[in-house]
Amino acid sequence: MIAERIKEIQSELPEGVRLVAVSKFHPNEAIEKAYRAGQRIFGESKVQEMTAKHESLPQDIEWHFIGHLQTNKVKYIVPYVALIHGIDSYRLLAEVDRQAEKAGRVVNVLLQLHIAREETKFGFSFDECRAMLNEGQWKSLAHVRICGLMGMATNTDNTAQIREEFDSLGSFFREVKSTWFAHDDAFRELSMGMSHDYHQAIEAGSTLVRVGSKIFGERIY
Ligand SMILES: *Cc1c(COP(=O)(O)O)cnc(C)c1O
């Protein structure tokens, strides 16, 4: 089942769009099935869980951290993480930089924007993000590479609303790219779309879809 779903989703993705298989709360055996089907990028939302999986699974897996990251836990994932999707404050960005320097790495990150109407989702507002980028201190952080933006739409059946939220992040991405990263080829990722809305996210310009339950089934918390 898992292998079939991976192949099915992979076959629908246009060129330039990559699949992050969100394996949080699922055991190593489920990840191994996806791995044998060719999947190499996996997304996790808990530091301890991702680190344990990193230590026990094949070393060519790219681990993406997609959850809310606390500054005191950054040090555990910085040595191996391939991409941190959820940078939602300058303070967190600076801590990733500090730990990455210690680990002798440059760590790839995405800035998370709050586009949903729910209050529970993390992220910068567009204005907070503009202010942080204008302020300019981030340019001196030599051990983080800002590769793009990430966002989550409201959890709703209203497809018009989801579409509007993804479109707003798509146009904000183009603004940020042309204003602050026009000459930076690394800034090119837009992480949006989950099991129930990734087709719409792709239409709005997503380059990284984060799909969990459609591949692995429902999570048992
Ligand atoms: C859990 C999670 C996903 C995957 O959600 P599904 O609905 O299972 O596809 C995607 N992105 C983030 C940030 C998540 O926390």
Ligand 1 atom with least separation from CA of 216: 8
Percentage above 70 pLDDT, the chain = 100
Q: How far is the CA of 183 from the centre of ligand 1 (A)?
A: 31
User: With pLDDT > 90 as the criterion, what percentage of the chain qualifies?
Assistant: 95
- The answer to the question of residue 170 being in a domain is yes
What digits encode the pLDDT tens for the residues 123-142? 999 999 999 999 999 999 99
Residue 121, number of CB atoms within 10 A of its CB: 18
Which residue is closest in CA terms to ligand 1's atom 7?
A: 195
Of 2, 43, 76, 52, the closest CA to residue 152 belongs to: 43
Q: Is 213 in the pocket of ligand 1 (CB under 6 A)?
A: yes
Ligand 1 neighbour 45 (Cβ under 6 A): yes
Rounded to whole angstroms, the Cα distance separating 102 from 37 reads: 36
Report how far residue 52's alpha carbon sits from residue 37's, in angstroms, rounded to the nearest whole number: 22
- pTM, rounded to two decimals: 0.97
Domain membership of residue 156 (yes or no) is yes
Q: Determine contact, residues 170/211, Cβ cutoff 8 Å.
A: no
Domain carrying residue 133:
2-216
Count of Cβ atoms closer than 10 Å to residue 150 Cβ: 28
Mean pLDDT value across residues 182-211: 98
Q: Is residue 103 part of a domain?
A: yes
Using pLDDT thresholds of 50, 70 and 90, give the confidence band for residue 189.
very high
Asked, for residue 15, whether it belongs to a domain, the answer is yes
CATH of the domain at 49: 3.20.20.10
Q: Is the pLDDT of residue 120 over 90?
A: no
User: Which atom, in ligand 1's list, is nearest to the CA of 195?
Assistant: 9
Residue 164 falls inside a structural domain: yes
Number of domains in the chain: 1
In a domain, 221, yes or no: no
To the nearest whole number, what is the mean pLDDT of the chain?
97
